[in-house]
Homo-oligomer: A and B are copies of this chain.
C-alpha cells in the first residue's frame, strides 16, 4: 500500500498513462480521472482516458478543452474502482495490466500491485487533489471543477457522514481556484427534466414498506422509462429517497437494467451498514450507500431475496 508521496513518485516516473474509470461512471470516478489527466498533461506528460460505458452529457464539462490524444499506453491505472468487476466491459482487456489503483472504497479488493486506498476519504477526488498538490500542479479552474464534482457527488453535496474536515477544506481550496460550485450543484442535484419528475412520481407511488416500516423498497421496471421517456440515469436520485422516510433503517431501490439484470441500490441509516448487506449478494460500497446485482432473475425474485436479506440483517442487528 502506497501513501500520497509514494503514489506521486510513481506518477512522476511515468509517461503515456491510461486512466480507467469504473463502468456506469459517476461524478467521482470521472472527476478523479479528468483532474488527474489534466494535472499529468500540465506536467508535460501524455494521458488518456477509457471507460466501459458512455459518459452522461451532464458530465461533459469535465472533459472540456482537454486534448484527447490517442497513443499506446505504457502504464495503466484506475481511479475510484473498488474491484476489477467494476471495470465492466474493459475488464478483460486490462486485467493484469493495471499497475496502480487510487481509491477510497472500504471494500476495495486489491487488483493492482501498487495502490493508494484511503477508506476514510469521502471521495477519490479528495485523494487526487492531494496527489496533484504533491506533484506540484498549481491552481487551475478546470481541475477545480473536476475535484469539486467528485466531492459533491460522492457526499450528496457534503451531506453524508463520510464528510470530514479535510473534505470541506479541499472544497474551500478548489472554490478559491475557481470551481463553479453553484453551477455544478445545480446540474448534479437541481436539474430534472419533466420526464424525470414524472418517472420519480410513478416509482415513489409504488414504495413498499416491510419489517414494520424499518425497510422501504421502490422498484423501477423498464416500463417506467417507456411510459415517461425518462433515461436510465434520470432515476439515479431515487435511491436516496426510501431511506429518508421516518423510521426507515434500510432503503432499497431495485432497477431493471436493459440487459434484464436487476440492480439494487441500498442506502442505510445507522446502525445498519449498506456495504455489509450488499456483500451478501457479492456487492459492495460504503457504510451508508452500496449496491449489488441480481443477474438472470426477475424483479419479483430479486425483491423477495432482498426482502429476506433485510429481515435477516435487521434481526442480526437486534432491530427486529
Q: Which residues of A contact B (CB under 8 A)?
A: 152, 156-161, 163-169, 171-173, 175-176, 181-182, 185-186, 189-194, 197, 201, 204-205, 240, 243-246, 269
Contact = CB atoms under 8 A, between A and B. Distances in A.
Nearest to A185: B159
B193 A175 contact: no
A93 to B, nearest CB: 37
B186 A269 contact: yes
27 contacts: A156-B157, A157-B158, A158-B158, A159-B182, A159-B189, A160-B185, A161-B181, A163-B181, A163-B182, A165-B172, A165-B173, A166-B172, A168-B168, A168-B169, A168-B175, A169-B172, A186-B269, A190-B240, A190-B243, A190-B244, A191-B246, A192-B244, A192-B245, A193-B246, A194-B245, A197-B204, A197-B245
A185 B194 CA distance: 27
How many copies of this chain are found per oligomer?
A: 2
Nearest to A288: B182
A155 to B, nearest CB: 9
A153 B6 CA distance: 40
A269 to B, nearest CB: 7
A135 B176 CA distance: 28
Given A186-B269, A192-B244, 19 more contacts: A157-B159, A158-B158, A159-B190, A161-B181, A163-B175, A163-B181, A163-B182, A166-B172, A168-B172, A168-B175, A169-B169, A169-B172, A190-B243, A190-B244, A192-B245, A193-B245, A194-B246, A201-B204, A201-B205
Most B-side CB within 10 Å, residue of A160, A189, A190: A190
A154 to B, nearest CB: 13
A69 B192 CA distance: 49
Contacts of A158: 152, 157-158, 171
Contacts of A159: 157, 182, 185, 189-190
A176 B158 CA distance: 15
Contacts of A186: 269
Contacts of A161: 181-182
A164 B173 CA distance: 10
Nearest to A167: B172
